[in-house]
């Protein structure tokens, strides 16, 4: 008998509703709670959403190819999660500060981080590809869930300073099983700090299904901490955008922290070091392909009578331009010098680190001399 079980549980009983404003056929579904957050969205904004998602998917495909060709050490694909990332980040204000995990490439790009700077980290050429204070987004966090604590602390600082910004933490469903995320929600709730915890539930924590990790919807966990919470279809960019607007407004008006569970699906691998065919069924992947976030927005634009062909061409042109620039930059990027491994570890001179640098350089010199 297995120690744990993923057998069906009626997790929907008594749970929060899942908001969906666009169904898989691109049909608009009225939502009494969230509709007014879309009132300022114009057709041009939807066209921009489409461009953003197409560019992001192209960047993801290009990065995966570059890793396979030996140009990157590793890559964490986001295929299928474009709406969750673009819909949420486009709802933020420029002075809101974001703390991402290692998969929020679209969030960073939409914040103004250049694709080549983002990939330079995955190539091993930089410890961080950008200055967080210039674009109000921290470096991507590899340690699972720890950025939630950073966001909670930043949110407490905003409150103490009397600011109107919101601190935003992104993480996946697996991170909600980490103590750091629970502790962050405790602190944010206790201090009623302006923090948005944004969980992309992509169904898999590497090879573990979300049903193994949680006996309830993840949103229900946050509700238990006293956070205002929404659960949305994460492949529906309108639902993600509207819920994020609602959550940010709640936090910005001093009403305390918020939580969004965006239910999506990681159609690619966990990282390029992973083979998802070893732990998930092909039928499940096909089921989620039918819910593709880009296809759904295209269908909605057709429903609106928009000139979809011109929007798609514009998006494709932007994707091609980004991909060409990215490939040229990565394939010509110089490797960092060994000494740079010890740079920026401390802001001030640090004798033990300086000693470690000297010892390492001496070791390399001996090695090379022995050849």
The reported pLDDT for the residue numbered 45 is 98
The reported pLDDT for the residue numbered 338 is 87
> CA of 288: how far to CAs of 241, 263, 267, 291, 343, in Å?
20, 11, 8, 5, 44
- SS3 of 315, please? helix
Residue written as token pair 């008006």: 253
The reported pLDDT for the residue numbered 368 is 61
| Residues belonging to the active site | 266, 270, 279
- Greatest pairwise CA separation for the chain in angstroms: 74
The reported pLDDT for the residue numbered 371 is 43
How many other CB atoms sit within 10 Å of the CB of residue 25? 10
Give the chain's mean pLDDT.
94
Q: Is the pTM of this model over 0.85?
A: yes
Q: Which two tokens stand for residue 278?
A: 């070893």
pLDDT band at 97 (very low <50, low <70, confident <90, very high): very high
């Amino acid at each position: 008998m297995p120690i744990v079980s993923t057998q069906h549980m009626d997790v929907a009983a008594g749970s929060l509703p899942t908001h969906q404003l666009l169904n898989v056929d691109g049909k608009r579904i009225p939502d009494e709670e969230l509709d007014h957050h879309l009132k300022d969205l114009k057709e041009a904004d939807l066209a921009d959403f489409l461009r953003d998602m197409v560019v992001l998917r192209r960047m993801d495909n290009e990065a995966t190819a570059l890793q396979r060709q030996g140009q990157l050490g590793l890559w964490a694909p986001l295929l299928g999660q474009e709406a969750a990332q673009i819909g949420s980040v486009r709802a933020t204000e420029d002075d809101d500060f974001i703390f991402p995990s290692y998969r929020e490439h679209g969030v960073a790009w939409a914040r103004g981080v250049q694709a080549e700077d983002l990939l330079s980290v995955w190539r091993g050429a930089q410890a961080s590809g950008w200055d967080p204070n210039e674009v109000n987004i921290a470096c991507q966090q590899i340690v699972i869930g720890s950025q939630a604590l950073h966001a909670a602390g930043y949110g407490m600082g905003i409150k103490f300073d009397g600011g109107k910004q919101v601190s935003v933490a992104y993480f996946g469903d697996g991170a909600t099983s980490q103590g750091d995320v629970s502790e962050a929600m405790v602190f944010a709730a206790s201090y009623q700090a302006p923090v948005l915890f944004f969980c992309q539930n992509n169904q898999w924590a590497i090879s573990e299904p979300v049903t193994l990790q949680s006996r309830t919807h993840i949103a229900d966990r946050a509700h238990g901490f006293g956070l205002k919470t929404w659960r949305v279809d994460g492949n529906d960019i309108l639902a993600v955008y509207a819920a994020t607007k609602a959550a940010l407004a709640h936090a910005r008006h001093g009403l305390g922290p918020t939580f969004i569970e965006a239910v999506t699906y990681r159609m690619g691998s966990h990282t390029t070091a992973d083979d998802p065919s070893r732990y998930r069924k092909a039928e499940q992947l096909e089921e989620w392909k039918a819910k593709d976030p880009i296809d759904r927005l295209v269908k909605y634009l057709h429903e609106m009578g928009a000139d979809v062909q011109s929007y798609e061409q514009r998006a494709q042109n932007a994707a091609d331009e980004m991909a060409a620039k990215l490939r040229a930059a990565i394939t010509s990027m110089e490797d960092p010098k060994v000494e740079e491994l010890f740079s920026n570890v401390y802001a001030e001179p640090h004798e033990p680190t300086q000693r470690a640098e000297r010892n390492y350089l001496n070791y390399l010199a001996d090695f090379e001399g022995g050849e």
